[in-house]
Amino acid sequence: MISSIDTDSILRFPVLVGDIGGTNARFAILVDSYAEPKQFPILQTADFATIDEAIQSAVLDHTSIQPRSAVLAIAGPVDGDEIDLTNCPWVVKPKQMMQTLGLEDITVLNDFEAQALAVASLESEYLEKIGGGTGEPNGSRVVLGPGTGLGVAGLIRTRQTWVPVPGEGGHVDFGPRTTRDFEIFPHIERINGRISAEQLLCGRGLQNIYRAVCTANGVTPDLLSPAEITGAALDGSSKEASETLQLFVVYLGRLAGDFALTFIAHGGIYLAGGIVQRIIPALKDASFRAAFEDKAPHEDIMKTIPIYVITHPLAALSGLSAYARTPSRFGVPTEGRRWRKGA
């Protein structure tokens, strides 16, 4: 019999940890609670038809270690025994994975829960601070990550335990505010009549803003990828790309400020993912903090809240590893999200 189990149960080692996004998947194995994770090369989700195939080919075929447990973080809501990823065709089927991969115990979390778990213990060397005061050690925190999509999660402290708060905050409504916004937003495609934050604040969001800026300026867009747009913005070779990146950081500041207010995040706002790591110079522009703090009548509160860019290359795996070692340190509800043979 396979069933969901209590969050306090200790995981059986070795433990496979995995961070599965819309484009990339990262895996590591913890042999025991004291060992450093054994990491494997980052793989492209498009190269494998299923997650089971990816784990077998890219991980298990390259090690003699057979994991007994797995803690997987996926980009999407966890609901039921067949879990769809938001921006990837893979479907996570824990019961099937036990049979195909020889696992005994599988926990599936949201990918930004993993990022939230990471910020509970990341060392300062992996955090680039952008303004604000000194974060309260036990203050609530928020993680945002523009990537293939836009991930959002909270982290709150209660009864000596860190509790991650997953959600789909990337899909909240996002509207125009300035005169320039009103010139650009009519050229941004709507989904079922609305514009969500994710349509602006992710890789394709950069492309959406860039195309809208070009249309508003009456020019033909000639930069195709997010990397080309950010590159041209940072080296100053494209006026439209420069404006795109400037708008991107302002919009990110506005949204980060919204979630800072939602959680009263005295512990800080944490920005995760490769996009923000590449645009740190743009995030240090005064317009980013100004947009973040422009939350009347609460500007004084906003000025105190620090913002950090997470520079750890595998932060989510670090968070999952911390959880796998000592699940009792975190208040992670696993009802309906953890499966174990014989329980």
The first and second tokens of residue 80, run together, are 């039921």
pLDDT digits (tens, 9 = 90+) for 262-281: 999 999 999 998 899 999 99
- Are residues 22 and 149 in contact, defined by beta-carbon separation less than 8 angstroms? yes
Binding residues for ATP: 18-23
260 shares a domain with 139: yes
187 shares a domain with 268: yes
Element (H, E) at 25: strand 24-30
Backbone angles phi, psi at 163, to 5 degrees: -115, 110
322 shares a domain with 192: no
Domain coverage including residue 159: 123-310
From residue 15, alpha-carbon distances to 35, 37, 75, 320, 332 in Å are: 11, 9, 20, 10, 17
The segment with the largest mean pLDDT, out of 7-16, 72-81, 313-322, is: 313-322
Question: What pLDDT score was predicted for residue 87?
Answer: 75
Rounded to two decimals, what is the model's pTM? 0.86
Question: What pLDDT score was predicted for residue 163?
Answer: 92
319 shares a domain with 286: no
Ordered strands of the 268-271 beta sheet? 127-129, 307-310, 268-271, 141-146, 150-158, 161-166
Question: What pLDDT score was predicted for residue 166?
Answer: 83
Question: Of the ranges 79-88, 130-139, 240-249, which one carries the lowest mean pLDDT score?
Answer: 79-88
Question: What pLDDT score was predicted for residue 275?
Answer: 92
156 shares a domain with 76: no
Confidence of residue 2 (pLDDT cuts 50, 70, 90): very low
From residue 75, alpha-carbon distances to 11, 45, 67, 167, 303 in Å are: 23, 12, 22, 11, 31
The first and second tokens of residue 118, run together, are 């990471």
Mean pLDDT on 12-32: 93
Calculate Rg over the CA atoms of the chain: 20
300 shares a domain with 155: yes
Question: What pLDDT score was predicted for residue 320?
Answer: 94
CATH number at residue 54: 3.30.420.40
Total number of residues shown for the chain: 343
319 shares a domain with 177: no
Cα distance between residue 140 and residue 116, in whole Å: 11
Backbone angles phi, psi at 299, to 5 degrees: -60, -35
Which residues are CB-contacts of 61 (< 8 A; sequence separation ≥ 6)? none
Confidence of residue 4 (pLDDT cuts 50, 70, 90): very low
195 shares a domain with 278: yes
Cα distance between residue 196 and residue 233, in whole Å: 24
Binding residues: 18-23
Domain tally, the chain: 2
Mean pLDDT on 284-311: 97
167 shares a domain with 107: no
Distance of CA 198 to the CA centre of its chain: 12
325 shares a domain with 302: no
Q: Taking the CB of residue 246, how many other CB atoms lie within 10 A of it? A: 17
Better-scored residue on pLDDT, 78 or 59: 59
Task: Check whether 3 has a pLDDT greater than 70.
Answer: no
175 shares a domain with 34: no
Confidence of residue 5 (pLDDT cuts 50, 70, 90): very low
Look at phi and psi of residue 28 and say left if phi exceeds 0, alpha if psi is from -120 to 50, else beta: beta
**Strands 69-74 and 43-44, sheet pairing:** unpaired
CATH number at residue 181: 3.40.367.20
192 shares a domain with 85: no
Cα distance between residue 125 and residue 143, in whole Å: 18
Cα distance between residue 205 and residue 210, in whole Å: 8
Question: What pLDDT score was predicted for residue 6?
Answer: 44
- Are residues 65 and 72 in contact, defined by beta-carbon separation less than 8 angstroms? no
Question: What pLDDT score was predicted for residue 343?
Answer: 62
* Mean pLDDT score of the chain: 92
